[in-house]
Structure 1
Amino acid sequence: MIQRLAPSNMNATTYLIVVMGVSGSGKSSLARSLADHYGYCYLDGDDFHSESSRARMASGQPLTDEMRAPWVAAICQHLQDRARRQQHCFLAFSGLKKIHRNQLREAGLKTLFIFLRGDKHTIQDRLNRRTGHFMAPALLDSQLATLEDPSMETDVIPLDIAAPLATIADQAIQAINEQYELEELAIK
């Protein structure tokens, strides 16, 4: 049984489920899988980065807080636009800092976070094998150092990444349905 939590903005009518974690934790794969399951919009936070931010990360340099600010603001604006159209979304988003998670909460959607956590060795191995992504594998230490653990926040469901994606997706679906108390969320 998943511990009962409370999504942010309980009176909102548009759902936002943020799949968060450091680079290589599997957030894009899980968010895409869940969006397909529910028939919701899939958004990847990486798509909102500027070209200069992407180039900086590709060169192995972490972003500063000043560089992250317009990125998070652009995501929030996009989410508010989706909410006005009653479009429920899954968002793959690092969410390393509480201030950024709070900005997403303040966007006004009924929000849950799925926090993908795992050991450094597993994540580093995934990053080293990944191809076609701008994020340099050397940035993992920086991401882990920046991560402000969200496990105790009331709208966060922590899941371990050691299991196969299908198992993690099943755990996430169970948690989402229980937290929103809406079995009809699932369209399949």
Structure 2
Amino acid sequence: MTVDNKPTINTKPLVVIAMGVSGSGKTTLAHSLGKRLGIESFDADDFHSEQNKAHMANGRPLTDAMRLPWVQSIRTHLQTLSKQGKSCSLAFSGLRLEHRDILRIPEANICFLYLEGNKELILQRMQARSKHFMPSSLLDSQFEALEVPKEKDVIALNIAQAIEPLVAQAVEALRNRKLTP
């Protein structure tokens, strides 16, 4: 069922969250899925305070106390969109179960796409990108903070493939769960 041409099930909007450590391809997947599904996409990094960005740019990982207001602001945004009947895709690290739980809003059908890959591949990707506040020196802290998702609303995707096959795999997995038409 769709409402205003946006994927929904049981009249609830769909929120697809591409998650994983920095450099795993969350933003690329979230934006590609948004285009493919015809829904808005956005990046959780845009919700970080300038203080948090500066902290990470200086090579220091965020504390849980620094992450919580960031996650809460994302939740509020998701709730606003969902109450408007709008589906979306989101690039969000989702390293901690607690943070994933905060984004499991009752107003939407939530599905996490866990982008998993080996540290060497992700490090190569991080070193190849430019103009990002997250230095590759923080990759180890990302893996240390990661609580590998095992929840029922999580679909694991191997990032050792090009973006188009990855998007196709994600769309097929969403269809199999009856989350998209």
SS for the counterpart of 1:91 is: strand
> What is the aligned partner in structure 1 of residue 161 from structure 2?
163
Alpha carbons 2:113, 2:157 under 8 Å: kept: yes
Count how many residue pairs are aligned between Structure 1 and Structure 2.
Answer: 173
**Divergent runs of 4+, >4 A:** none
TM-score norm. by structure 1 comes to 0.89
Q: State the superposition RMSD in angstroms.
A: 1.2
Residue by residue over 1:91-144, the C-alpha shift from the partner in whole angstroms, topping out at 9 and shown as x without a partner, is 000000000000001353110000000000000010011101111110000000
Superposed counterparts of 1:145-164, under 5 Å: 145-150=144-149, 152-164=150-162
State the partner residue of 1:14.
13
SS across alignment from 1:180: coil
Q: Give SS of 2:61's match.
A: coil
Identical pairs, percent: 45
Instruction: Tell me the distance in 1 between the aligned counterparts of 2:101 and 2:135.
Output: 27
Mapped to 2, the partners of 1:119 and 1:181 lie a distance apart of 29
Match of 2:175 in 1: 177
Structure 1 residues 56 and 181, CA gap change in structure 2 (3 angstroms)? closer
Q: CA deviation at 1:12?
A: 6.2
Unaligned ranges ≥5, structure 2: 1-8
In structure 1, the partner of 2:70 is 71
Structure (1/2) with the larger strand percentage: 2
Query: Unpaired runs of 5+ in structure 1?
Result: 1-9
**TM-score, normalization by structure 2:** 0.92
Q: Secondary structure at the match of 1:134?
A: coil
Q: Displacement, 1:181? A: 5.2
